[in-house]
Every structure is written in structure tokens, then in C-alpha cells.
Amino acid sequence: MKIALVSPYDFPYPGGVTEHVAALAVGLQQRGHEVQIFAASSGYPGYDCLDCRIMTRRIVSFPIAGTLARIGFSPLTSFTVKKLLRREKFDIIHLHEPLTPSLTWWFLMLASVQTATIGTFHAYHEQPHRLYQLSRPLFKGLFAKLDSLIAVSPPARAFARRMFPGNYQIIPNGIDLSRFGRTATAPRLNPTQNITLLFVGRLDPRKGFAILFEAFCRLQAHYPHLKLQVIGPVASSTVRMYRQMAQARGLTGVEFVGYVAPERLPNFYHQADIFCAPSLGCESFGIVLLEAMAAGLPIVASDIVGYRSLITGGQEGLLVSPGQPDRLAVALRRLIDQPDLRRRLGQSGQTKAAQFTWDHVVDQTLAVYNDTIWSKIGTGAIEAAAENDSEAHVQRRQANYVQ
């Protein structure tokens, strides 16, 4: 099949949707399909993905649910997309967050009737954004053009259904066990008495890093060698603020590593002892949790809807009420003091992560692709448009659905 994967976001900038799209592209290509990624780019030093077509470099930061979404949008992109779709004649256009005002709109609006359109919904918010609700009539028209619907988790499906009812199939995010998996004999840099807590993500308010920082302040008085390593893009002004706060409180051991290239990221999981995800809400899944589980790390995470869909409290990690540094500190202290518990939770996490390999995700995604195309064949939509196709395109469509 000839497949277009379309992302609304600044593709090099770290984020869950970007990671999903990049890994899905690799998996589909390994199955012999022709895949192109279409996205926006600010030039941030992030993913250097194969066959990524940059459609715009105009990035708009849009505040939503405690974070800034870096969206690529330009009205002029529509002309480029129109020419592209006429020339390429994709069998599948797979749009991630298809209703986000971005180049996903142009691909969806301009897709021809013979092309199957798939939408994957990644987001979960406790309450829909007000602009989202006000623009619902416009979104309904776009939504109607989607042939098949995917959500990455039950919370993401519930959120999408609240605004746009439909038959959503759940296909989760995936994990590359060959990258993040850690064997029992892998070297560890930290001796037993020197525990490293790991946080991976942006320092947006909803990620709850301020809560983790306060919990760390409470803990270091009891564990002077405790370390907190922070991985992810962060403004220099934010780093300066936290360093000043740490100095004022006599804290040591907080390290802001900043952005880490994808090929280096697993090393930080492998060298840590406990992973912490103190998000306040608006999480549909938690790819970082899956990465930590694959690496065999015990987890302390907020007891929120998106995380409960992946972690069972007491099995792969400990769940605590969000926004409460005292309770977070108690859970972390429990793991610091109990290495056997850390080991047991880490082993359970590795077992759970094995259920989310990219092979499984690609299998499920291809099943949706095939079902969608055959459904369109059944309605006669493809045959009606086939007379405008080249002979080679028609032959490819008939031959390659089940790869």
C-alpha cells in the first residue's frame, strides 16, 4: 500500500504523537509498504525520520490543558497538499489528531473519494477546550470525511466520543523492546545506596514537575545522596528558576539534562532506579510509562484516568493522588527503602510492556487499513473513481491490501 501519515505538530519537537508516527512509519515500511510522513518543522534538533516531508515551518503555539501545543499551520499549505494528493494517489491517508487545526485539515478536506482516510485520536482532557466546543459544527463536517476511527486508549476513546460519537477501535501506543528493554546483567552506574529518580517530559504545568520538585525537597533531608534527573526540552529561564530554588533550600542532586536524542534516551532509563510521572491530568496513555516499564523501572505515578489504563497500582508501580507532594514523597520513600519491591514492580512492568510491541500495533493498524479499503470497495466508491487512475495505481490497490 501507499500510505501517508500526517501529524499536526512540530515534528522534531519531542511528543507522544511524534513518537507514535515515527515508529509506525518504520513498522509499516518493514512490512514492505510505501510510507511518507507529512508534518511541520521548526528546525528543532529532534527526529531525523526517513521520508519526512516538511509541509510548513510556520509553528503556532496553542495553549490547551496546561501545555503549549506546537501546531504547524499555514493557509498556503492547501495548494501544496492539493498538488501532492493529485500526484501521489495514496491508498491510505492516516491522520493523527485529525481535527486539530493544522495541515491535517487540508489532507482530510482534499482527500479524493478513492483514498481511505483513517483518524487516530490521541488526546484526553477532563473537559473539552471551549474553542473545541464552539467550533463543533466545523469539526463535524471534517469528522464525517473520516472512513475509520482509532483511539490510543479507553480514555482517549471516551473523550473523542463525547464530542463525536462513532465506532472507535483502540490501538495503543507501542514500545520498541529492543531499544528500551534491559537485561538483568545490564551495567548500572549507581551503587545500591545512591538512588536516582527519573523524570522524562516537558516541564509544562500539567506534567506536575513542580510537585515532584517539592517531594524531592522533602526526601533529600533523609537521603542526602538522592538524585533527580530531568530529561526533556526546557527553557533556560525555567532551569535557572529551579536551580535558584534548590540553592535557596540547600538542595543538591537535581540535574536538568535537557533534550536527549532518541538514540540516547534508553540509557537514562537503564541508569535510573525509580521513574516518576506526577502529571496532574489530561493524559490519555503515557508513553513514558511504557518506556520505563520496558526498561524494568518501578514507577510512581499520579492516580489519573490515563495512567490507570496502563498501570495497576501495586503491580507495575504505585499510584498516588495528583498534586500532593507529601503523598508523592511517601510513595517514593517506600520504593527507596524497599529494593525487593522495586525489583518486583520492575519485573511486572517488563511483562506488561511486552504486550505493547510495535509488531502488535502495526498488525492492528494494517487490519484497520484493510477493513477500511474493503468497506469502500463494497460501497462502490473506489470503482467509481478508478477510471481516473493510472493502470499501475489500480493494480497496486487490488494487489497490496493484505500485506
- Helix, strand, or coil here: 74? coil
Element at 334 (helix H, strand E): helix 325-337
Q: What pLDDT, on a 0 to 100 scale, did the predictor assign at position 403?
A: 44
120 and 267 housed in the same domain: no
Predicted confidence (pLDDT) at residue 127 exceeds the cutoff of 80: no
Q: pTM value? A: 0.87
The identity of residue 318, as a single letter, is L
Task: Provide the pairing of β-strand 274-277 with 196-200.
Answer: parallel
Q: What is the rounded distance in angstroms from the CA atom of residue 386 to the CA atom of residue 227? A: 62
Predicted confidence (pLDDT) at residue 193 exceeds the cutoff of 80: no
φ, ψ of residue 380 to 5 degrees: the values are: 85, 5
- Of 117-126, 147-156, 232-241, 381-390, which one has max mean pLDDT? 147-156
pLDDT confidence bin for 191, thresholds 50/70/90? very low
Residue 189: Cβ within 10 Å count? 10
Q: What is the rounded distance in angstroms from the CA atom of residue 288 to the CA atom of residue 292? A: 6
Q: What pLDDT, on a 0 to 100 scale, did the predictor assign at position 129?
A: 60
Q: What is the rounded distance in angstroms from the CA atom of residue 151 to the CA atom of residue 294? A: 22
91 and 111 housed in the same domain: yes
Predicted confidence (pLDDT) at residue 120 exceeds the cutoff of 80: yes
227 and 326 housed in the same domain: yes
Query: Domains in the chain: how many in total?
Result: 2
Average pLDDT over residues 67-83: 81
Q: What is the rounded distance in angstroms from the CA atom of residue 302 to the CA atom of residue 325? A: 11
Cβ–Cβ < 8 Å for 246, 254: yes
Predicted confidence (pLDDT) at residue 402 exceeds the cutoff of 50: no
Q: What pLDDT, on a 0 to 100 scale, did the predictor assign at position 192?
A: 47
139 and 199 housed in the same domain: no
Chain segment 326-342, per-residue pLDDT in tens? 999 999 999 999 999 99
Cβ–Cβ < 8 Å for 219, 226: yes
Predicted confidence (pLDDT) at residue 395 exceeds the cutoff of 60: no
Q: What is the rounded distance in angstroms from the CA atom of residue 82 to the CA atom of residue 71? A: 20
Give the three cell numbers for residue 314: 501495586
305 and 198 housed in the same domain: yes
How much of the chain, in percent, has pLDDT values that exceed 90?
65
How high is the mean pLDDT of the chain? 87
Q: What pLDDT, on a 0 to 100 scale, did the predictor assign at position 128?
A: 64
User: DSSP letters along 220-235, please?
Assistant: HTT-TT-EEEEES---
The widest CA-to-CA distance across the chain, in whole angstroms, is 75
Chain segment 19-63, per-residue pLDDT in tens? 999 999 999 999 999 999 998 888 776 655 555 777 777 777 776
Q: What pLDDT, on a 0 to 100 scale, did the predictor assign at position 185?
A: 44
Look up the CATH number of the domain holding residue 212.
3.40.50.2000
Structural domain harbouring 319? 177-356
237 and 222 housed in the same domain: yes
